[in-house]
Amino acid sequence: MPSPILTHSYYSDFFANKGYAFLKKMASDYQPPQELVIFSVMHCYEGSLPYINVLAELGSKLVFIPKSATAEQNQGLKETIETIPNCEIVAPQFNKQSLRDPATAEALIRQSIGADSQFLILDHGGYFSHTIEHLSQVFAEQCVGITELTANGLYKYLNKSFTKPLVTVSHLSIKAPADYEASECIVHYSDQILREEFGLKINNDEFLKVGVIGAGNLGRGVIQYLKGKGISCIQVADIDPRKLTQFPRNGVQVSSLERLVKQCNMLFCCTGNGALSEVLLDSLDKSVFIATVTSADDELRLPELIANGALVEVGGHQLVREYHTRNGHSLFLLAGGESANTPFKTGMGDPTLYLFEAAHMLAGLQLLEDPSRFKAGVQALSEKDEIMIAERWLNHFYNYG
């Protein structure tokens, strides 16, 4: 077997090899079928290379579907990924929007599998959620099942009726460290974008009033790192008032969403699904800066807002995209409307990403080994498996044993 391709452009061999060895060891307990095709949706980060290599070694083919936010700016990395044995990147026409069409999704699978192939979908963000009912019928004998990595992706699969099992790892406690790592990156790079493009510092209370919409793992992490930057007046809103009860004792002001939007002009949207309604945008009486923790297509339902005329794009580039509201106020989407850390390199020095990658992969391997243990529809990876992953990760990276 040729050596894995674990790095692309900078010196992180130690961390890459360490992560590859961990994921490889996690997979070694299983014997996937020879004629296995894996469809994997993931970001086009250099930090993904160890995971991509392990997935490509599990079966006869890995079909890599890069998330558009990072694929468009990492063409060189895509070329590196294409050199990995048994790995192919889908053509550009197979993207998030086109895969909502059942015929397009079916065509992608048909061109990638053989008559004797089984296939597994490792989804990230619900790319196949719109077509899963169709695919599970058309490929009833060959589709083993689906795994979903994120909460916003899982949301898209809910209330769908499909005959294959979907195993979610979106709400596992071992995913929390990576969420907090992402929160740190989002705050750091939002500050960097504000400085680079507007000459603003995120902790200048005179110019920026900061609000956080959503009090889940990512929202709480954003607040933690905002406080670390010396921001003394942070407002937080959430549709679930139970999540807000922890904040007053920690010096964070709780607020209704309407009041937060009225009083703040730097918004971190951390809900994963429709943080700002059309009515709220119409009520804006000032220009605002917005950072999202996932694609604005999901976080703000941006295509709907544009189609309804609530927002009109007026310009921008990779770091900032500007829209106008109906009232003529500017809405500046940092990172062009993607998660605010996507324009920048993501390294492998923090091994928390291997926790959720291991869980995502393990869910798929268990589907392959014994599909009968899973029922049709949505279910979570077991607590026992989560504990096992945590123990192995601690032993591998931190000599826990």
pLDDT digits (tens, 9 = 90+) for 300-336: 999 999 999 999 999 988 899 999 999 999 999 999 8
Q: What percent of the chain has pLDDT over 70?
A: 96
Mean pLDDT for the stretch of residues 258-264: 96
* Sheet of strand 377-380, all strands in order from the earlier edge strand to the far edge: 87-89, 61-66, 36-42, 118-123, 143-148, 165-168, 377-380
pLDDT over 90 at 223, yes or no: yes
pLDDT digits (tens, 9 = 90+) for 183-222: 999 999 999 999 999 999 999 888 999 999 999 999 999 9
- Identify the residue with better confidence: 113 or 34: 113
* Position 96, amino acid: K
Contact, 169 vs 367, CB < 8 A?
A: no
> 4: which 2 tokens?
């894995």
How does residue 349 score in pLDDT terms, banded at 50, 70 and 90? low
pLDDT for residue 12: 57
pLDDT digits (tens, 9 = 90+) for 78-113: 889 999 999 999 998 999 999 999 999 999 999 999
What is the end-to-end Cα distance of the chain in Å, rounded? 31
The C-alpha atoms of residue 56 and residue 274 are separated, in whole angstroms, by 35
pLDDT for residue 232: 83
CA triple 386-129-174, angle to 5 deg: 15
Domains of the chain: 13-171+347-398 (3.40.50.1480), 178-337 (3.40.50.720)
* Position 99, amino acid: L
The C-alpha atoms of residue 282 and residue 401 are separated, in whole angstroms, by 56
The C-alpha atoms of residue 320 and residue 57 are separated, in whole angstroms, by 39
HEC string for 205-238: CCCCCEEEECCCHHHHHHHHHHHHCCCCCEEEEC
